[in-house]
Amino acid sequence: KLKEENKLLDGIHITRNSLFKCVSSVSFNNILNKSISAVVGEQQNMKVSSTALSGLFLVSAYVTCPINAFTVQQSGITKIARSRTSMSISPLEETESQSTSRSGRTREEIENELSSGRILEDGPVIDFGSIKDTSSKAERALLQAKDDYLAAVSSGGKESVQLGFAGTGQQRLMGINDEVVQEVGREVGAFIDDDEKIQLCAAYLRSKAGKGLFEENDDAKTLSEAELNSIDKSALDALLIEAYAESGTVTEAFAKTFYLGTQLLPEAAQKAIWAVYVWCRRTDEIVDAPRQPEDTNMLTDLSAWEIRLENLFKYGIVEDVLDLPLLDCKINYPKLPIEPFTDMVRGMLMDIPDLGQDRYETFEELHLYCYRVAGTVGLMSMPVFGCAPGYTEAVAKEPALSLGVAFQITNILRDVGEDAVKRGRVYLPRDDMERFGVTEEQILAQRLDDNYIAFMKFQIERARMYYDRALRGVPMLSPESRLPVQSSLDCYGKILDKIEENG
């Protein structure tokens, strides 16, 4: 049967060993069979984006974590337990109300950014790429933090500026905290403490980059032919392999189902997706993870993190061993753009109290947030997954961004109570809530009634509309990407089904 399915997949090159490895899980086997049928049966001839759905596979992992169970509180809002935080659904404990908004964005700032969005295909998808209000409070705060960081580095060197989360007896890599260490089961990136070797590996990689990919910089030398002949390339190759393996370990720890799906990809694409995932994971942890008094200020970390990103894409500079896979990814996929990465940083800014936004008046406002934290991941993955012949990334963009909106709406509907009670955030559009007679107090109290059920059904249908727009691109993916993408889509779509079943 597997041989027959491989023939039908028309160019999706999956070995028997890869399939047997992946279908060892009964649940994934079911998903796989369904996905094969969908990919084979839907060879539609539509001129729609192909790599748009490249984002689908990666976004499905980033915006959610493996689902262990679905339960419904007797007196509250439907919730889904996630392995990442080991949250089970139990009656809500007495919690001090967090209904007071700490939004820092003014109406003028919001409108300035919304008005700059570009509508794609005359439809409901808006491209907010590279859009930011440089006069906004958040942007000014980030710029000031960057200036302060660069001034401190200039006067005392990088070693004088503490960044990231303090570990036991050592300073951890940025974006690596207690939660990450707990999920992985050990310190991350601790397999090497030889910065000289890491930098030599980076120079070795830069020397293999295409001409003009990186600008010249005193801190980012390439190796001469004589130097290349004198170094131990095998040792540097082994270090890069180990850095990729570490990225895969982090990916598997936080997104087991997604990691299983990456096993269906060609090795180069598989490793590239791990590199991108780990960058996204670290970015998320910088903003959302709890901080202790001894930890660095969040805005300082985020500003330094963006500077590091800019230096990597512009010069090929790395700061730690987990940067090596992303550098290698940029070299292997030269068209990988920096814009979705910096746009995601803006999405992180939107979640920072007193600078960002924790209430959304309209869906248009939420759409901007969905683009920044989820649609961007689709754009990051486009060069990795590739388009089928005859399709371009420009054509692919609309379905990719549709998928980002669909996944993030799903994520929001899944986590309504947790976001409101534990984080003080209500992402659901207020005008929709008012139209259906749902109040913020009701959400904080997790009180379920007919109004809330009708409201959720409306939001679910909106998400499905975006899924439908994104689904058009699956047959247009490069052949080797279709099966893992379709598998991820099938799995993620079940969240909406389960929320609906739970009433």
DSSP 267-291: HHHHHHHHHHHHHHHHHHHHHHS--
Q: pLDDT, tens digit, for every residue of 315-364?
A: 999 999 999 999 999 999 999 999 999 999 999 999 988 899 999 999 99
Residues near 93 by Cβ (< 8 Å), separated by ≥ 6?
none
d(CA 246, CA 272): 13
- Among 317, 294, 290, 289, CA closest to 304: 317
Cα 254 from chain centroid (whole Å): 12
What end-to-end distance do the CA atoms of the chain give, in Å? Answer: 38
Burial (0-12, 13-18, 19+ Cβ within 10 Å), 394: exposed
Q: Which residues of 19-28 are buried (b: 16+ CB within 10 A; e: fewer)?
A: beebbeeeeb
Neighbours of 411 (CB within 10 A): 24
d(CA 492, CA 61): 9
What is the SS3 assignment for 477?
strand
Structure tokens at 258: 């997604």
Q: pLDDT, tens digit, for every residue of 138-169?
A: 999 999 999 999 999 999 988 888 888 765 55
- The residue type found at 500 is E
Q: What is the pLDDT of residue 293?
A: 75
Q: How far are the Cα atoms of 61, 209, 276, 290, 379 from residue 67, in angstroms, in the given order?
A: 11, 40, 22, 23, 25
Q: What is the pLDDT of residue 229?
A: 95
Q: Angle at which helices 54-62 and 376-385 pack, to 10 degrees?
A: 130
Q: Point out the residues of the chain with pLDDT beneath 70.
A: 1-100, 166-170, 503
- The residue type found at 108 is E
Half-sphere exposure (CA, 13 Å, Cβ side) for 29?
8
Largest CA distance in the chain: 74
Instruction: Name the DSSP letter for residue 43.
Output: -
Instruction: Please give the model's pTM, rounded to 2 decimal places.
Output: 0.81
Q: What is the pLDDT of residue 28?
A: 43
* φ/ψ (deg, to 5) at 80: -125, 130
What is the SS3 assignment for 50?
coil
- Among 404, 398, 340, CA closest to 59: 404
Cα 292 from chain centroid (whole Å): 25
Q: What is the pLDDT of residue 503?
A: 67
Q: What is the pLDDT of residue 256?
A: 83
d(CA 397, CA 387): 11
Q: What is the pLDDT of residue 199?
A: 98
Q: What is the pLDDT of residue 297?
A: 85
Number of H helices, E strands in the chain: 23, 4
